[in-house]
């Protein structure tokens, strides 16, 4: 299954819905391009909805870290939503949960961009 990406706006937050596999090659490149396009077009606050991601390899994790750095360097925030159990486990194994704000509820995640901090982590 290839990666499907759609973007929607909620309260000035770009919510990027990902469905499929985030792996080396086209999928990770499309994710990178989507993030760059959002930043270029004033999408500094980005919520990556990973609820539909069935698999992510190390290059996918690398894209998340790269996206976080790029968004942060431009004065924005990038947060994660809806991690599947395997991806949640990978975040703990790699200690990336200390880097990303991770949410289970979309409304709380969106509100956190406006309150300056995490409302609830998952």
Tally of CB atoms within 10 A around 23: 17
Residue 61 lies inside a defined structural domain of this protein: yes
Per the domain annotation, does 120 fall within a domain?
no
CA distance readout (Å), 48 to 20, 121: 13, 14
- Residue 110 lies inside a defined structural domain of this protein: yes
Spell out the alpha helix ranges (H) of 1-122.
26-40, 58-73, 85-93, 106-115
Q: Give the strand pairing for 45-56 and 77-81.
A: parallel
Phi, psi at 57, each rounded to 5°: -95, -175
Let me know if residue 89 belongs to a domain.
yes
- The pLDDT assigned to 117 comes to 56
Q: Looking at the whole model, is its pTM more than 0.85?
A: yes
Q: Is residue 122 part of a domain?
A: no
Domain that holds residue 41: 4-115
Q: Using CA atoms, how far apart are residues 104 and 49, in angstroms rounded to an integer? A: 10
Is residue 11 classed exposed, middle or buried when 0-12, 13-18 and 19+ CB atoms within 10 A define those classes?
exposed
Q: Is residue 78 part of a domain?
A: yes
In a domain, 77, yes or no: yes
**pLDDT tens digits, 73-99:** 999 999 999 999 999 999 999 999 999
Task: For residue range 6-57, list pLDDT tens digits in order.
Answer: 999 999 999 999 999 999 988 889 999 999 999 998 779 999 999 999 999 9
Q: Which CATH number belongs to the domain containing residue 10 in this structure?
A: 3.30.750.24
Cβ neighbours of residue 106 under 8 Å, at least 6 residues apart? 10, 15, 47, 49, 81, 82
The number of residues in the chain equals 122
Domain count, the chain: 1
């Amino acid at each position: 299954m290839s990666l499907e990406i759609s973007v929607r706006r909620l309260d000035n937050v770009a919510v990027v819905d990902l469905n499929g596999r985030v792996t080396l090659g086209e999928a990770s490149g499309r994710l990178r391009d989507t993030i760059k396009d959002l930043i270029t077009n004033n999408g500094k606050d980005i919520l990556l909805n990973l609820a539909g991601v069935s698999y992510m390899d190390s290059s996918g994790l690398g894209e998340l870290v790269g996206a976080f750095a790029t968004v942060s360097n431009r004065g924005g925030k990038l947060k994660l939503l809806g991690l599947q159990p395997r991806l949640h486990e990978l975040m703990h194994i790699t200690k990336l949960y200390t880097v990303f704000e991770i949410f289970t509820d979309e409304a709380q995640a969106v509100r956190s961009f406006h309150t300056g901090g995490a409302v609830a982590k998952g």
